[in-house]
Structure 1
Amino acid sequence: MGQAADILGVRQAFLRSLDAAKLLTPQRSGGGHRRYSRYQLRIAARTHELVAAGTPLDAACRIIILEDQLTEARRINTELQQRHPQSENKPDAAPE
């Protein structure tokens, strides 16, 4: 955890608060030390940005979750559009 905090320029308490808020759940080493993935470090950095800008931690966590959901929805949308070209997805014309 100390190394992750150093990399991000935050205090260890900040990372613990993200764990307590259930935004991040780092893996644990055999000795019980928290181990963060690169993805988790990016999430922690984004959260720190929001908190440093004055966003309350609970709101920052919600924003991060929504941003992540939006990214995933866009990825799925792109994948579906590639499978089914737009010409096939146009709604039928209204009957006359």
Structure 2
Amino acid sequence: MAQPDDMFGDDDYPAYTMGRAAEITGASQDFLRRLDELKLIAPSRSAGGHRRYSRYQLRLAARAREMVDQGTPLEAACRIIILEDQLEEARRQNEEYRRRPEADT
């Protein structure tokens, strides 16, 4: 288990309850449940079975809410965000690959 000092800098640590996540993102709890159903975010569960969200997941939820507020259908917004996330990860991996010395290739 992560030590408390490590958790503050960890964007993936599930620190937020559903109520707090809804408050932070400006979304309803039902909206957050839909994001889970649409597989945009998969919150962790506490020992009691309650959803717990990370900062990274809250950023995705806030982006989805923003897109829906601008008229994008929720399903489309989730798919766009997933694709953007995959593209960013591919770019990051490509950059790491480019930085490797020739001997590693």
Q: Which runs of 5+ in 2 are unaligned?
A: 1-17
Q: Hey, what's the Cα distance between the residues in 2 that align with 1:23 and 1:83? A: 32
- Picking from 45, 59, 69, the partner of 1:28 is 45
Q: Hey, what's the Cα distance between the residues in 2 that align with 1:8 and 1:61? A: 15
TM-score, normalised on structure 1? 0.82
Percent sequence identity over aligned pairs: 67
Q: Paired residue for 2:83?
A: 66
Higher RCO structure (Cα 8 Å, ≥6 apart): 2
| 1:18-74 deviation per Cα after TM superposition (whole angstroms, max 9, x unaligned) | 011121111111222110011111110111111111110110011011100110111
Q: Hey, what's the Cα distance between the residues in 1 that align with 2:101 and 2:48? A: 50
> How many residue pairs end up in the alignment?
85
Q: Hey, what's the Cα distance between the residues in 2 that align with 1:84 and 1:72? A: 21
Q: Which of the pair has more CA radius of gyration?
A: 1
Q: In the TM superposition, what is the alpha-carbon distance from 1:84 to its structure 2 partner?
A: 5.1
